[in-house]
Amino acid sequence: MTADFDLTIVGSGFAGSLLSMIATRIGLRVLLVERGCHPRFAIGESASPLAGVLLEDLADRYDLPRVRPFASYGEWRRQYPDVVCGLKRGFTYYKHAEGKPYISAPDRSNQLLVAASPCDEISDTHWLRADVDHFLVREAIALGVEYLDQTTLESLEWQPNGDAVVAGMRAARPLRFRSRLIVDASGPRGFLARVLGIDAPGFASYPATQALYSHFTGVARCEGMAEYTDAERPPYPVDAAALHHVFDEGWMWVLRFDNGVTSAGVAVTDACATDLRISDGEAAWHRLLARYPTIAAQFADATAIREFTWMPRVAYRTTVASGPGWVLLPSAAAFIDPLFSTGIPLTLLGIERIAHLLERPSHPAADAYSHTTLAEADHTSRFIAGCYAAFPRFADFIAYSMFYFAAASFSEMTRRLKQQRRGFLCGDDHTFAADLARLSPQRAAGAHLHREVADAVERFNVAGLCDPSKRNWYGVDLQDAVRGAHRLGVAPREVEELIRTITSPA
């Protein structure tokens, strides 16, 4: 008996909808299932340069021209002005001490600014997920994807031929269908994890953390506050970024959208969460603000426009990410922490790999998907765990963060040069991965960490990083990539031509 669908995707966030469009372009019969309905709130709101080039690659390979504008701020705003996004020119970090106002140190030792793009036009973006997800699910429907919302899936049975029989409810009516393959795009602790009883032991040596977040209006801009001013002009507007307020026990994100809404939340250690009584929601939020006067001043006139969401456990990792007849997207197999905006690019890498499997289902790479997905999550978790350990010693955090910025900029450039694709955070380079683990602030600290990290990332440093003379401000100097052409294995003229292509107006 023929299955009703070649592919069923559970969860219609951006990942599920994008994968459903790709599968339809490949020629599969696709069902997209959603427990709720759109538009709806979702987190995972900050993209990155690697996410942008991945979106471009997927849109070009699978003939999805209406998806491609989401890869950069300028094109997004021109093509879809009603789909809300925010400008993300870089990564901004400020270190705060409890009970003391923040004052920019003369040597900028309590801040880190790393630009991700040279101008607004080709900048990264923050995604108002309610808008983005709603847009993409409508696009999927227009391409012929069958879509069922307000649907609860309850059980799964395997047939002798390998097909899955899925049962559930929609609008109080029983639902039953057959599918050759099930992909879970519903996030941690999703449908497949439940019905298959997949263990989720978490990450080794990773701090237990909790999160609290909401959306706000009326959040002040740091660039308008005297505490953050500097005699020099920063490499980009500090608020047009993924802005992070760092303190010893955790950190706060502040992401701005163009409609005046700001996404903000905190991720803190269990000890801090207990002290704050974080499950109290908004009351806990104000208790945290009371500890940090300058953050409190930024939120003095802010109003939460939705209820606060409490995550009692942030990190999540399953023991396996695929099996006969089923696959977990990376976002359903593991979640670490949004400190370096790793969620969207990791998810897009997973979509790319699953798309290749759908094109060639008998390819040997099918057996490697689970290993690669979880290995990249483990590699990322080791990095984020080291960052948490370094928060009380901000100089160590700055030094250690260079692992991320070197790997991210290198990976973006190799992608754009159409070279061999690297694993996330260069985790497939055994020496780089070993150095990242060896130099983790969970193990190492002190005056030599900056130099040791600089040596470890030197082979991948095409962005002028680890330069003490820049005093923790890293703007985009495109000539850094030209000077680093030998690290990319190409001639300087090839990098120059690539830069002209990227930066030239359409």
Q: How far is CA 201 from CA 67, 206, 317, 334, 378, in A?
A: 36, 11, 6, 11, 12
Residue 294 binned pLDDT confidence (cut-offs 50, 70, 90): very high
pLDDT score at 239: 98
* Contact status, residue 458 vs residue 405, Cβ threshold 8 Å: no
C-alpha 349/C-alpha 274 separation (Å) is: 36
Q: Band of the pLDDT at 504, cuts 50, 70, 90?
A: confident
pLDDT for position 287: 98
Q: For 225-269, what is each residue's pLDDT tens digit?
A: 999 988 799 999 999 999 999 999 999 999 999 999 999 999 999
Q: Which CATH architecture has domain 86-126+208-311?
A: 2-Layer Sandwich (3.30)
Cα 378 vs. chain centroid, distance in angstroms?
15
Q: Which residue in the block uniquely carries the two structure tokens 């989401």?
A: 70
Q: Is residue 55 very low, low, confident or very high in pLDDT (cuts 50, 70, 90)?
A: very high
- Indicate the pTM of the whole model: 0.96
Q: Which of 2-6, 44-48, 253-257, 301-305 has the lowest mean pLDDT?
A: 2-6
pLDDT band at 503 (very low <50, low <70, confident <90, very high): confident
Q: In the chain, what are the domain boundaries?
A: 5-82+128-202+316-359, 86-126+208-311, 393-503
Return the percentage of the chain with pLDDT > 90, whole number: 93
Residue-wise over 121-141: b if at least 16 C-beta within 10 A, else e?
bbbbbbbbbbbbbbbbbebbb
Mean pLDDT of the chain: 95
Q: What is the DSSP letter of 228?
A: G
DSSP state of 43: -
* Number of residues in the chain: 506
Mean pLDDT of 155-159: 96
Q: Annotate 398-434 with DSSP letters as a single string.
A: HHHHHHHHHHHHHHHHHHHTT-PPPPGGGTTSHHHHH
SS3 347: helix
The whole-number pLDDT of residue 506 equals 52
The secondary structure of residue 339, as a DSSP letter, is: G
In angstroms, rounded to a whole number, what is the distance separating the alpha carbons of residues 173 and 148?
13
Q: Which CATH number fits domain 5-82+128-202+316-359: 3.30.200.20, 3.50.50.60, 3.90.550.10, 3.40.50.9100?
A: 3.50.50.60
